[in-house]
Amino acid sequence: MMKKATKWIGLVIASAVCVTSVAMLAACNDTKTEEYTVTFYDGTTILDTQKVKEGEMATKWTPTKTDYNFVDWYATPNFAHLFKFDEPITENKSAFAQWVSVNQSEDTREYYIVGSGTSPILLKSNWGKVFDSTTRMTKTAGKNEYKFTLDLQVGDKFQFAINESWHNQRGAGYLATTKLDNGTVAFSGSATIGDNSAYRNDIKVEYAGNYTFTLTTHPDDDTYESTHPEYTEAKKEAFNINPLDKISWVRNGDVIETAEKVVDYYIKGAGITNWKDMYNAATKMNGSDGVYTLEVYLKEKEEFTFTTLFTVGSQVGTGNIYLRADILDEASKAYLDQTASYNMVAKAAGSYKFTYTEATNVMSVAFDASKVPAATDYYIDGTFAEGVDNWSGYCFNEKFKLTETTAGSGIYEIKNVALKADSEIIIQAFKAGSTERGEWGTESYNGLGSYNYTYLYDGGAAFEAVGNGNNNIKVKTAGNYDITFDSYAKMITITAHN
C-alpha cells in the first residue's frame, strides 16, 4: 500500500510541474516586442508615421507635392545624410523629405572662384580681391551649370561665390564626392562634408592636379540660415544655402604648369595689426635656409598669430599657411597662452623673439621683459608742403611733428596738413629730444625708423605707393588731411580733414 501511495504522489507532482511549465511558456509567448515610431516630415509638417517593431526596418515610400518632385528621405533636416531604410530600427527616428521644384528658373547669377594657394588663378583671386573674367566660372548655355578648370597644388584652398561680399558661397559641403574612383582623397573640408557648417567651408586640395569643376544650381529652391546669430535681412545672401546644389569634378591629369613658391611669414594680431594683413618690415619674419625670425614688442594679453604671403613667379597673394600655438616648443609655452582657435596670447609685456623652423614645423620664443620701446619723436617728411625744402625741411620742424593724443597711448597725430597732388610723404622716427639726424652708422645717429605706404592702413583712393620699388606714399588727390600713427602697431591712417 505504501508503494502505491508513493506512486500516486509522484504522478501528482509530475503533473503539477507540467502544468506550471506550460503556464510559464504561455507567459513568455505573451511578451510583446518593443515598437518604435518613424516620423516622416516635410519641413516641420508631419506627412506620416510608421510603427516599426524593434529590429525590423522602416518601409520607404514616395510622397507627392504639387509643383515639386520628390528627391529622397534624409536623416537630418539639413539633408546631410540619407535615411537608411536598410538598417534595423532600435529607437524613434525622423525622416525628412527633400524636394526639387518641377520648373527651375534660369540662374542669372555669376559665380567666381575665390581662394588662395600656389595656383596662379588662386593667387590672383587672393581670397576674392579680384573678380574678373579670369576668375569667373563659365555658364553652360541653357543650363544652370557653371564650369571652371585650373591647376591645383596640395594645400590650396578655395570655394565659389557670386561677389566680393562672399554671397551664395558654395564650399566643401556641396562636393558630390571627395575621392577619385580609386579611393584617393582629392579634397577635404574643415568640417564634416554635408553639414550646414560645411556649406561655406573652404575646399582644401589633398591631391595635386588639373581639375574641372561643375557647379549645378537650383535657384528656385534656395533657402537661408535665418537662425544663424549673425543673420540679418540686409545680408541674407551671405547665408544663402541650397542642399540641392552640387559641385562635381573630374581630374584631367597632372598639374600643367609648375613654378617655385616663395613663402613669407608675417605677424597679425588684435593690437599689433588690428587683425589686418600688414606686410612690412615691422611684421615680417626674416629668414634664410628655412629658418625665420622676428623680434617684436608685444603688450600684455596681445592675441596674435602668423599668416603668410605666397609669391609664385610674378604673382603675389595671401597664403593659407598659419603658424599658431600648436607648433610652439614646450619651453615657449611659459611665455604664451593660447585661445580655443590656437591663437597665441602674450602673458606679459616685453620683447618676444620668434624663431620658426620650416623643416620641423616648430616655433620657439625668447622673451625679455626689460626691452621696451624707446621714447620717440615722429615727423612727417617728404615733398608735400609749399615753401619747404624737399626731404630736408620737415624733420625737427615743430610744424610737422606729430603729438601724442593722450599720454601713454602711443597714438600720435597731426591735423589739417595740406598735401599737394603727386607729392610724397612718409613718417620718420627719431630718439625723443633729437635736433639732428647724426651720422649714419655711429652712436650719434638718432634715427629709429621710417614708415611708408606698406604701413598705411587706411588712406582710401587718395593715396598709392610711388612704385618702381619706391614705397613712399604718393598723394593722388590734393587736400587737407589728418594723419595718425599708431606707434605700437606701426600703422598710419590718413583721413580728409573736416
Residue at 453: amino acid letter = Y
- Could you identify the residue written with the cell 617655385? 260
Question: How far apart (Å, rounded) are the C-alpha atoms in residues 479 and 483?
Answer: 12
Cα–Cα dist 123/130, whole Å:
10
d(CA 427, CA 494): 12
Spatial CA neighbour of 433 closest among 374, 371, 389, 494? 374
Residue 304 is predicted with a pLDDT of 98
Q: What pLDDT score does 316 carry?
A: 87
Joined grid coordinates for residue 108: 542669372
Contact, 58 vs 38, CB < 8 A? yes
pLDDT, residue 314, reads: 81
- Is-contact 484 450, C-beta < 8 A? no
Terminal Cα-to-Cα distance of the chain (whole angstroms): 130
Instruction: In whole angstroms, give the CA distance from residue 415 to residue 183.
Output: 64
Q: Are the C-beta atoms of 158 and 183 separated by less than 8 Å? A: no
Block residue for cell numbers 543650363: 143
Hey, what's the cell of 309?
Answer: 604671403
CA R_g for the chain: 34
How do strand 45-53 and strand 35-42 relate by DSSP bridges?
antiparallel
pLDDT at residue 2, rounded to an integer = 40
CA dist., res. 101 & res. 234, Å (int): 26
Residue for cell digits 619706391?
Answer: 470
**Residue count (the chain):** 498
Which grid coordinates belong to 256? 600643367
- The reported pTM is 0.72
CA pair distance 139, 109, nearest whole angstrom = 9
Question: What residues contact residue 238 under an 8 Å CB cut-off, 6+ apart?
Answer: 165, 166, 167, 169
d(CA 317, CA 120): 9
The number of C-alpha atoms within 13 Å of 291 and in the hemisphere containing its C-beta is 4
pLDDT of the chain, 498 residues: tens digit per residue: 344 444 433 433 444 444 444 444 444 455 678 999 999 999 999 999 999 999 999 999 999 999 999 999 999 988 888 999 999 999 999 999 999 999 999 999 999 999 998 888 999 898 888 999 999 999 999 999 999 999 999 999 999 999 999 999 999 999 999 999 999 999 998 765 545 567 889 999 999 999 999 999 999 999 998 888 899 999 999 999 999 999 999 999 999 887 788 999 999 999 999 999 999 999 999 998 999 999 999 999 999 999 999 998 888 888 889 999 999 999 999 999 999 999 999 999 999 999 999 999 999 999 999 999 999 999 999 999 999 999 999 999 999 999 999 999 999 999 999 999 999 999 999 999 999 999 988 999 999 999 999 999 977 899 999 988 899 999 999 999 999 999 999 999 999 999
pLDDT at res. 8 = 37
Would you report the helix, strand and coil content of the chain in percent, each value rounded to 5? 15, 40, 45
Note the pLDDT of residue 80: 80
Can you tell me the distance from the alpha carbon of 224 to that of 196, in angstroms, rounded to the nearest whole number? Answer: 11
CA dist., res. 386 & res. 449, Å (int)? 25
Instruction: Show the cell assigned to 229.
Output: 546669430
- At residue 332, the pLDDT reads 97
